[in-house]
Structure formats: structure tokens, C-alpha cells
Amino acid sequence: MPNFDNYAFGGAGRLPDSDSDADSDADNIYNNPEAMFKAMNLPVPLIKSADEVRREADSRRKNVLADFATLRAIVERHEETLQRRWLKKTRAQRIAVLLKAWPGMAAMHRPDFETLRQDAPGFRGKKLLQPRDAVMWPYINQDDLSKPRSLLLLINARGRHHPCLFAAADDEQMRIGVVSHKLSRVYLNEWTMILNGDPDSPTMDRDYGTLVSWDDNEDADNWTFTRAQLIPGDGLVVLEAQERLLRFLID
């Protein structure tokens, strides 16, 4: 039997070959994703084909890499000027700039935890304007980014280092949204998405966000189980997170 709970935390699985009736029944459920998730009492995810996932990943990958190149050029040429101007602003002025670039930005630190608090029985406070943003980009909030150096450090890190170096961390940042089922992901089994890697590799840009079939590469399933690489559902939301973050930093 596969570890079905793995998917709730970002995993996937493949059933071993077996002739037993019990494993045959499990195989039937496992090959029917909708029935499988209902049997586990989990929300049924959006199921996409490899071609559909590949098209979305390729589109987002191109945007991520293009915006990374733009941000890197800005940082290399103008970082000192940007830092000087930002540090001169008051907190109110910084917040105004942040909200212009990211309308509806959460006000508090760790807004992902705030979404859990709002689910508690009897909650009477103000609901977050963008709950999906809160669990997908918990580090994007007025409390943190209006501080003198937080945004500057974020710009420096993302502008000087390839997105592949942040893929695992970006995935982990969204754990609250995943385990609470507030962040939906597509389901594509027996494929792995390449996001972690060596930024100095001449093929990194080409490989970033590509899909590898478990049937075509005997190591691909192990990459998923060991978290060396990501399942496609996790990979797509990482690319989406990086795409919007880099656009925000450029704006």
C-alpha cells in the first residue's frame, strides 16, 4: 500500500506489483484519484494531465527567469540608490509603496497562522482580505516589510541568487496552507518536477520547472520521496509564488 498521507504533505506514491485481492482493490482505488481522495476524507484536487502541467509550468518558468534577470540587473546597477531612498522613507510611506505594489497585503506578521485563528469557533475579528495570499506568501506582510531593512534584504537575496536556490524554502513556507487544505494543488501522479539544483549548471535554466516521468527515469520517484525534487502540484505553486514575488519586487 502507498503512503496516501504523503500527498497531504506533498508526496505521491506507486503501488508495488501484487496478486492479492486486497492489493487489487487498493490498486483500483489508487488508479482512480477522485475515489482515492474521497476514501481518505481529503478534498479532491484538480486533476491535470502531464501536458497541461507542462504548459503551465513552462509559462510560469519563463516569467520567473525573465523577471529574475530583470531584478538582477536592477540590483547590480542601482542597489545602493534603492537602499538609500528606502531608508529615508517613514514607515507610513513604506506601507503606501508596499500596498501600491501588492494591493490587499496582510497587515500582520505570519498571516498564515492568522488564517488558522480565524477558523477557530467564536472568532469575531476582521477576516483577512486575501486569505490565499496569506498562506502562499506568509512573508509578504506590512508588519515585516515596512521595517527598514526587511524588503532590502529580500530584494538582495532574490536579485542575486537563482530561483532554484529558493524552491525548497518557498515550498516549505506554504506548509500551513497545504496541511490545512487552504491551498489547493493539482494532482499528477508518477511524475516529478525539477526545481532544486545547481545555479551554476549550464542547463539549470533549461531544466528548471521541467517534468520527469517515473517510467523514463528510475531515480525520479526517489527524488520525490526524499524531497530532493517536488511533486508537480507542489512545483506549480512554487513557480506561481516565485512568479508573483519577483514581479512584486520589480514593481
Tally of domains within the chain: 1
Residue found under cell 520527469: 212
Buried/exposed 45-61: b ≥16 CB within 10 Å, e otherwise = beebeeeebbebbeebb
Question: Does the global pTM surpass 0.85?
Answer: yes
| Residue 18, domain member (yes or no) | no
78 falls within a domain: yes
**Overall average pLDDT of the 6-26 stretch:** 51
In a domain, 97, yes or no: yes
Query: Helix, strand, or coil here: 141?
Result: strand
Q: pLDDT at residue 10 above 60?
A: no
36 falls within a domain: no
The pLDDT tens digits of the residues spanning 117-137 come to 988 888 877 777 788 999 999
Q: How many CB atoms lie within 10 A of CB 155?
A: 19
Rg (alpha carbons) of the chain, rounded to whole number: 20
Residue 6 in domain: no
For residue range 216-251, list pLDDT tens digits in order. Answer: 999 999 999 999 999 999 999 999 999 999 999 999
Residue 11 lies in a domain: no
Parent domain of 155: 47-250
DSSP character for 183?
A: S
